[in-house]
Amino acid sequence: MKEVLEVQKDSCEVYCFNEEVVARTQDRIKQEDITGMAKIFKVLGDENRAKIAFALCEEDELCVCDIANIIGSSVATASHHLRAMKTMGLAKHRKDGKLAFYSLDDDHIRQLLLIALDHRKEAGIHGS
């Protein structure tokens, strides 16, 4: 006898929605800067920028040259990534003579990264 495996669908089998919940949620989305939030995650979605952000969680401040060596890139590439992070408000920099040092903009960014790492460990999500 052949066993038939039932595949559980992960979507609704009929189309219906709660108008009140949808309207309320759409209003909240309009009030928040969801696009800005998505851009933050997009910037952190790049593996090299994620490595930089993690490095800046580990060390309060790093020179661009240090960051380039940490991620295995040129100084120009590291600077490009850091500029993107600075533009999104994730990192800040200071000059000390001819050196540029970067740090995370504030503790919210550190918390966001550490929570993401904890979640990855709990969920058992592994990198490729």
Residue 105 within a domain: yes
Q: Say whether 9 sits in a helix, a strand or coil.
A: coil
> What is the pLDDT at residue 122?
86
Residue 104 within a domain: yes
CA dist 57 → 6, 16, 27, 47, 93 (Å) = 46, 45, 35, 15, 15
* Mean pLDDT in order along the chain per 10 residues (128 residues): 67 89 95 92 95 96 98 98 95 96 94 92 74
Whole domain around residue 82: which residue ranges?
38-123
Residue 79 within a domain: yes
pTM, whole model, 2 decimals?
Answer: 0.80
Give the total number of structural domains in the chain: 1
Structure letter (DSSP) for residue 97: T
- Tokens 């380039």, located at residue: 68
The Cα angle at residue 104 between residues 102 and 110, in degrees rounded to 5: 150
> What is the pLDDT at residue 6?
63
Residue 95 within a domain: yes
Residue 4 within a domain: no
> What is the pLDDT at residue 10?
84
Residue 88 within a domain: yes
Residue 28 within a domain: no
The Cα angle at residue 111 between residues 110 and 112, in degrees rounded to 5: 90
> What is the pLDDT at residue 2?
61
**CATH number assigned to the domain comprising residue 80:** 1.10.10.10
Residue 12 within a domain: no
